[in-house]
Amino acid sequence: MKFGGTSVADIDRIRNVAHHVKREVDAGHEVAVVVSAMSGATDQLVKWCEQSLKRRHIFDAREYDAVVASGEQVTAGLLAIALQDLDVNARSWQGWQLPIETSEAHGSARIVDVDGEALVRRFKERNEVAVIAGFQGVHPQTGRITTLGRGGSDTSAVAIAAAIRADRCDIYTDVDGVYTTDPRVVPRARRLERIAFEEMLELASLGAKVMQVRSVELGMVNNVRIFVRSSFDPPDKIDPHGNPPGTLICDEGEIMEQQTVTGIAFSRDEAQISVRQVLDKPGVAAALFGPLAEANINVDMIVQNVSSDGKTTDITFTVPAGDYQRALDVIAKAKRAIGYVRLDGATDVAKISVIGIGMRSHAGVAAQAFKALAERSVNIRAITTSEIKFSLLIDAAFTELAVRTLHSLYGLDKAA
Ligand code: ADP
Ligand code: ASP
Ligand code: MG
């Protein structure tokens, strides 16, 4: 059972979470619990780190992790106390105590190994519920605290579920499942009963923040069935042996009725860069994208035209908005090697992505979108496609219009 930030936002909600846990324990289930920091706590900790440092180039990611991991320590302890108050035997665990071993990549560490044996044994021997601080781990060689990247408690939960060979990993959050698109933006979004790992992976990578991308990857690799559900449903109204509302993230084979389009994701967290009048000759793309890769900048959509005169062309691509300035600097530095005339960019862009396994066997899905957006005068700046998704880059001002248009177009709206 994993509970996200909004679900543990204050003491009343933590006590509410304790009732959810007690219900499952009383029903005879063996459970382990993972918690996030109280809503807003991690943002505050990140801000304090930023405010403490004026000379950015000496930023120490190990100390950043020591600070930001503390939010989860608080909730784990508080939930253990709230459980004890309900006569449920419980104890908190920090990442280093379990241990949850990770790589050394501070701020975005990967889980390498989790020892789940103690958790299982302690539950069997003394009915003790483990309340584990999400988002954090330890690098075994240096002994230092690491964190898994924002939203990382989802990944802690799936990794622990795999380690204790849980039947299911329940992700309790502030929505009652995975929707066809963000329900905060499109009120007519529909809850999905089931979604395939691959589709959820695309949805999460392309902007739907309901699950951290790595948690879905881990679920897929270890075949952990993930159930997304609401912590706001009253704990005592739920039948612990029944079928509560929620979305099962599972293997494709478990899904009977496959729609062509399953969901729509969007991200305003993009920036567009256009390199004008580069020579149309071998080696130019390497001269441009090589230095960006070395600087660890993720390049996403790439568009290059065939030149009409055989001499020069333009290359347009996108990077995460947070890397925009750095990318421009890297390219400017490599100007001589690349040999371009002008560098343009825009940060007021958004990427809209349409996802569905059914696209594998249906042609013309994207063409419908081009037509519908054209009718609403939404200009498309760049397009990429792959087997089960396509993405469109548009002006950020049209994000909601475009998402709503495509949501209706592919029959995803719930009945009014
Ligand atoms: P938690 O704090 O529990 O980890 P998050 O805020 O990380 O919760 O994720 C839940 C939020 O994800 C929802 O409130 C919702 O606004 C957002 N979201 C984005 N896309 C979707 C989607 N397709 N389905 C459900 N929720 C989504
Ligand atoms: N507290 C961390 C964050 O806000 C991890 C999480 O909530 O999943 O990113
Ligand atoms: Mg989250």
User: What is the three-state SS of 15-39?
Assistant: HHHHHHHHHHHHCCCCCEEEECCCC
Please give, one letter per residue, the 3-state secondary structure of 273-301. Answer: EEEEEEECCCCHHHHHHHHHHHCCCCCCC
Nearest 5°: CA angle at 128, between 123 and 131? 105
Ligand 1 contacts (CB < 6 A) are 4-7, 36, 151, 173-175, 178-179, 181-184, 208-210, 263
Q: How far apart are CA 150 and CA 143, in angstroms?
A: 21
Bond prior to 99 in cis (omega within 30° of 0): yes
Name the residue among 343, 347, 327 with its Cα closest to residue 276. Answer: 343
Q: Please give the structure tokens belonging to residue 145.
A: 């605290």
Tell me the pTM.
0.94
Q: How far apart are CA 7 and CA 408, in angstroms?
A: 31
- Judge contact between 35 and 132, C-beta under 8 A: yes
Ligand 2, atom nearest to 72 Cα: 1
C-alpha 145 – ligand 3 centre gap (Å): 20
- CA torsion sign, 217 to 354 to 358 to 367? negative
Secondary structure letter of residue 91 according to DSSP: E
Q: List helix spans (H) across 334-383.
A: 335-338, 365-375
61-80 pLDDT per residue, tens: 999 999 999 999 999 999 99
Bond prior to 291 in cis (omega within 30° of 0): no
Count of residues making up the chain? 416
Q: List helix spans (H) across 298-385.
A: 324-333, 335-338, 365-375
pLDDT in tens, the chain (416 residues): 999 999 999 999 999 999 999 999 999 999 999 999 999 999 999 999 999 998 888 899 999 999 999 999 999 999 999 999 999 999 999 999 999 999 999 999 999 999 999 899 999 999 999 999 999 999 999 999 999 999 999 999 999 999 999 999 999 999 999 999 999 999 999 999 999 999 999 999 999 999 999 999 999 999 999 999 999 999 999 999 999 999 999 999 999 877 899 999 999 999 999 999 999 889 999 999 999 999 999 999 999 888 888 889 999 999 999 999 999 999 999 999 999 999 999 999 999 999 999 999 998 999 999 999 999 999 999 999 999 999 999 999 999 999 999 999 999 999 87
Q: How far apart are CA 303 and CA 380, in angstroms?
A: 12
SS3 152: coil
CB 209 near ligand 2, within 6 Å: no
Phi-psi region at 311: left, alpha or beta (left = phi > 0; alpha = psi -120 to 50): alpha
Element (H, E) at 213: helix 213-222
SS3 250: strand
CA distance from start to end of the chain: 33
Q: How far apart are CA 188 and CA 404, in angstroms?
A: 9
CB 5 near ligand 2, within 6 Å: yes
Q: Which ligand is nearest to the CA of 210?
A: 1
Nearest 5°: CA angle at 140, between 138 and 146? 25
φ and ψ at 317, to 5 degrees? -155, 170
Ligand 2, atom nearest to 135 Cα: 5
Q: Please give the structure tokens belonging to residue 78.
A: 């508080």
C-alpha 37 – ligand 2 centre gap (Å): 6
Ligand 1, atom nearest to 228 Cα: 25
C-alpha neighbours within 13 Å on the C-beta side of residue 241 = 3
- Judge contact between 113 and 105, C-beta under 8 A: no
- CA torsion sign, 40 to 46 to 50 to 53? positive
Nearest C-alpha to atom 11 of ligand 1 is from which residue? 210
- The structure tokens 């509560």 sit at 244
Q: How far apart are CA 302 and CA 31, in angstroms?
A: 46
C-alpha 247 – ligand 2 centre gap (Å): 21
- The structure tokens 């149309």 sit at 280
Q: How far apart are CA 84 and CA 81, in angstroms?
A: 5
